[in-house]
Amino acid sequence: MRTLARNQTKLWIVSPATKVEALDSDGYRTGEFVSVFTSPTIIYLSLYPSTGSIVEQLFGKDYSPDMLACSNDIVLTKDTLLFLQEPISDYATTYDYKVDKILESLNTYQYGLRRRI
């Protein structure tokens, strides 16, 4: 029942593709690495607030995500960024939710999502 089409929300996702070394204003390497993301794609995912007994049943009492997501066919990776509106640029600082925890069962995937602070 959680993955019905009427319960799905339109989201844009970007996933980290690679990491490249950051350069300073003079073009020298800084030793820090910055993630390069894929282009945004549209998905439809069932989102639920993290209140009630759903969180305890899926993730246990010690984990407290901001939102829960559930899907039968969409496989996300850890650190995938989710947007409620179409992203323009600078994905790492403008995302709405980030995939924090993944639970995979035989037929479904449950995701714990953290909101950007």
DSSP helix/strand/coil, 59 = helix
| Among 3, 32, 38, 2, residue whose Cα is nearest residue 18 | 38
Residue 63's pLDDT is what?
82
The stretch 35-49 carries a mean pLDDT of 89
Secondary-structure breakdown of the chain: helix, strand, coil percentages, each rounded to the nearest 5: 10, 50, 40
The stretch 93-107 carries a mean pLDDT of 91
Please list the alpha-helical segments (H only) found in 6-117: 53-59, 91-94
10-38 tens-digit pLDDT: 999 999 888 888 888 898 988 888 888 88
Could you please state the CATH topology (level 3) that the domain comprising 5-115 is classified under.
Thrombin, subunit H (2.40.10)
The domain limits of the chain are: 5-115
Task: Give dist(CA 18, CA 38) in Å, integer.
Answer: 9
47-81 tens-digit pLDDT: 888 877 777 777 888 888 889 898 888 899 988 99
| Among 42, 38, 44, 57, residue whose Cα is nearest residue 7 | 44
Q: Which pTM was predicted?
A: 0.81
pLDDT at 1 over 60: no
Beta bridge partners of 33: 21
